[in-house]
A and B are shown apart, each in its own frame.
Chain A
Amino acid sequence: MESLLAVKDLRTSFDTDQGQVVSVDRVSFELKAGETLAIVGESGSGKSVTALSIMRLLGKGSRVSDGEIRLNGVNILELDEKKMRDIRGNRISMIFQEPMTSLNPVFTIGHQLMEAIRLHLNKDKKQARAHAVEMLKKVGLPRPEQIMDEYPFALSGGMRQRVMIAMALACKPTVLIADEPTTALDVTVQAQIMRIMKDLCAEAGTAIILITHDLGVVAEMADRVLVMYAGQIVEEADVFTLFDHPQHPYTQGLLRSVPHLEADDQDELAAIPGTVPARYHKMQACRFHNRCAFATEKCRTELPPLIRTQDGHTSRCWEIEAATIHYEEGKAR
């Protein structure tokens, strides 16, 4: 199938006092229509910056220095600001992490929903209101008519995030970028929000880029998973392959560090030792080698490329075999 969004060799850098820091380094991926792609990684791995690069919402001092982002074949990095505004909110929508502050406190819910709808869909006030009420109903909010006239402070975090989803999906975008949409919510509400998001996107045929560090959410939602570490993609696979046969030592470490119910009382929760190296963008080596149990001399001197092992499964590691065998043995025990 033709890919909807194709990111190729994306490189985003920040200007800092210590010179240029490359935060996203040669990231490439493709998103097909209706697909859910999860981007996983720890804080600072470049997943949010990747999303902001796609929206072209990078702040001051940061810019996309290389690569291309093609939406239906058009490189959006070359569009002017006016055309880009037509894409934002209309073709690509975004949901932010913090629902408590992502609605303007001085306007009613209805005002904010209708503004977005009227801007992008050219509807008059009455149609826009009907559409807004319809969207609120779809995200499962009770008494949508009354909520239209309420101010954001009267709503709980979960309700606000529902409103944000309604707003993001009101114009039937082709891509929805959700940047840790449930991190700030109660666990009980998380599942509801995820389900609503998934159902509505499936209904509208919207593809989702889900940015998260919660592997549980990934397992529930994703079709395909990208694992990012220190600004690079280290592994990409479909969700079942990734959870069953992770190849990269980092992915394996992530999966081992998830607590699970069948564990013995004496089992200690595994953790990945060490931290992300500082100034990793200048390293001529595998960026994970200082935390990796399988690191060899080659890992310390040469950056591994993304290696395709089987159809649709790639990982950035010189020691895939050793790591995989070790992981499978550990799982069997």
Chain B
Amino acid sequence: MNLFKRYLGVRQQPEADLIAIASEGEGEPKGAFWRRFRKHKLAVAGLFVIGIMAVCAIFAPWIAPYHPSAITDSFGEGPTWSHLLGTDQVGRDVLSRIIFAARVSLSVGIGSVLISAIIGAVLGLISGYFGGWIDGVIMRITDMFMSFPYIMLILVVSSIVGPGLKNIILILGLLGWPGVARLVRGSVLSIKQTEYIKASVALGYKTPRILFNHILPNATAPLLIYATSGVAGAILDEAALSFLGLGVQPPTASWGNMLASAQSLTVLTDKPWLWVAPGVMIVLCVLSINFIGDALRDAMDPKNRK
């Protein structure tokens, strides 16, 4: 015992030592998330644009000057004061149709991503956390889904179950999850190795609690970023399907099937107001969502305190 001396019992440490170590920083002030988000000017603009679109979509019947499928007195006319964006060949007001089409695009985007995010997150969590044969089975299924040519599969399925808004949401949602599952599984694999997950097992928490309350929040940042780009992708997919005639069916308006009118060469060259406006809306919407996704990634990271 002469090698070591027992200091603890003998000498009490001065209390001052304990106060000397203070933490860096002032803690997380409220609204820090919003402050970091605001650093991205484009994202704020994007949020503004998406906000306006959402308001238009929700209050479409009150905002739109005409009913979207009502036939008015002018046919294929360019923009005038009574029809700000002109009318199409059957005499429907283009502005009203664009406003109503925002409902379709936003609900397709959000609805399908919601479905694929929920399926993907649950399967990814289970697959990554339990591993073993469960992981093998789930990952082989995602491999199967991912090895199909995506657009072909959508085309085939939508021609079988029939076109329509609900079916489009379901199809895009049920086909979009493998990417999410892969992403979540990857994060879970690294998160479950961390000491804080071991510590929560050691604290006696139940497995579902550990999965959803401790691991999932750590995987939300990549999930959310993936989801925002997924919304943009789903909107584009819907536009593509509608353009090909397998998406939302006329007379229901969607930006995609409005674009489809540009398939005719005379419309493409002589009546640009029929396809420029829906095209611009798609671009604006997708760009805004992508900018928001970028800003979210920075704002959600608690370590980022610029």
Chain A residues within 8 Å of B, Cβ to Cβ: 55, 57, 60, 84-90, 93-94, 96-98, 101-108, 115-116, 119-120, 140, 142-143, 146-147, 149-151, 153-156, 158-159, 164, 167, 189, 191-192, 194-195, 198, 215-216, 219-221, 239-240, 243-244, 255, 258, 260
4 closest A-B pairs by CB: A219-B4, A89-B203, A88-B204, A89-B204
* Closest B residue to A195 using CB positions: B8
Q: A94-B199, A219-B6, A220-B8 are in contact. Are A153 and B19 (CB under 8 A)?
A: no
B203 touching A153, Cβ below 8 Å: no
**Smallest Cβ distance from B57 to chain A, in angstroms?**
33
Interface string of B190-205 (1 = CB under 8 A from A): 0000111011111111
B7 interface residue (CB < 8 Å to A): yes
A142 touching B218, Cβ below 8 Å: no
* Closest B residue to A146 using CB positions: B27
A219 touching B204, Cβ below 8 Å: no
**Smallest Cβ distance from B268 to chain A, in angstroms?**
51
Q: A101-B196, A240-B1 are in contact. Are A142 and B19 (CB under 8 A)?
A: yes
Contacts across chains A and B counted by CB atoms under 8 Å:
130
Q: How large is the interface on B (under 10, 10 to 19, 20 to 34, 35 or more residues)?
A: 35 or more
16 further interface pairs, Cβ-Cβ under 8 Å (given A154-B28, A220-B6) = A86-B204, A89-B204, A93-B203, A94-B202, A103-B196, A105-B196, A119-B203, A143-B22, A147-B23, A151-B302, A154-B23, A154-B24, A158-B21, A192-B17, A192-B18, A240-B1
Q: A86-B204, A156-B21 are in contact. Are A149 and B8 (CB under 8 A)?
A: no
B3 touching A55, Cβ below 8 Å: no
**Smallest Cβ distance from A220 to chain B, in angstroms?**
6
B132 interface residue (CB < 8 Å to A): yes
B203 touching A159, Cβ below 8 Å: no
Chain A interface, DSSP helix/strand/loop, else mixed: helix
B4 touching A156, Cβ below 8 Å: no
Docked CA distance A147–B25 (Å): 11
Contact of B202 among A89, A108, A195 (CB under 8 A): A89
Docked CA distance A192–B15 (Å): 11
B199 touching A102, Cβ below 8 Å: yes
Return chain A residues, CB-CB under 8 Å to B195.
96-98, 101-102
Kindly identify, within residues 193 to 240 of chain B, every residue whose CB is under 8 Å from any CB belonging to chain A.
Answer: 194-196, 198-206, 213-214, 217-218, 220
Docked CA distance A85–B208 (Å): 13
Chain B residues within 8 Å of A, Cβ to Cβ: 1, 3-8, 13, 17-19, 21-25, 27-28, 131-132, 194-196, 198-206, 213-214, 217-218, 220, 302-303
Docked CA distance A153–B4 (Å): 35
Docked CA distance A215–B1 (Å): 11
Return chain B residues, CB-CB under 8 Å to A192.
13, 17-18
B8 touching A57, Cβ below 8 Å: no
Return chain B residues, CB-CB under 8 Å to A149.
27-28
Contact of B8 among A189, A198, A239, A244 (CB under 8 A): A198
Chain B CB within 10 Å — which of A107, A154, A244 has the most?
Answer: A154
B217 touching A107, Cβ below 8 Å: yes
**Smallest Cβ distance from A11 to chain B, in angstroms?**
22
Chain B CB within 10 Å — which of A147, A216, A219 has the most?
Answer: A219
Q: A88-B201, A90-B204, A94-B199 are in contact. Are A101 and B194 (CB under 8 A)?
A: yes
Return chain A residues, CB-CB under 8 Å to B205.
85, 89, 115, 119
A159 touching B214, Cβ below 8 Å: no
Q: A106-B217, A158-B21 are in contact. Are A55 and B28 (CB under 8 A)?
A: no
Q: A220-B6, A220-B8 are in contact. Are A153 and B22 (CB under 8 A)?
A: no
Return chain B residues, CB-CB under 8 Å to A88.
201-204
A104 touching B3, Cβ below 8 Å: no
Q: A85-B205, A88-B203, A142-B22 are in contact. Are A220 and B196 (CB under 8 A)?
A: no
Q: A87-B204, A89-B203, A96-B199 are in contact. Are A105 and B302 (CB under 8 A)?
A: yes
Contact of A106 among B17, B23, B199, B302 (CB under 8 A): B302
B203 touching A167, Cβ below 8 Å: yes
Docked CA distance A191–B4 (Å): 14
Docked CA distance A147–B204 (Å): 24
Return chain A residues, CB-CB under 8 Å to B196.
101-105
Contact of A191 among B7, B22, B132, B202 (CB under 8 A): B7
A194 touching B202, Cβ below 8 Å: no
**Smallest Cβ distance from B11 to chain A, in angstroms?**
10
Docked CA distance A151–B26 (Å): 10
Docked CA distance A86–B205 (Å): 9
**Smallest Cβ distance from B5 to chain A, in angstroms?**
8
B24 touching A219, Cβ below 8 Å: no
Docked CA distance A137–B132 (Å): 44
Docked CA distance A119–B201 (Å): 13
**Smallest Cβ distance from A111 to chain B, in angstroms?**
10
Docked CA distance A101–B195 (Å): 6
**Smallest Cβ distance from A233 to chain B, in angstroms?**
21
Return chain A residues, CB-CB under 8 Å to B204.
84-90, 119-120
B21 touching A244, Cβ below 8 Å: no
* Closest B residue to A140 using CB positions: B18
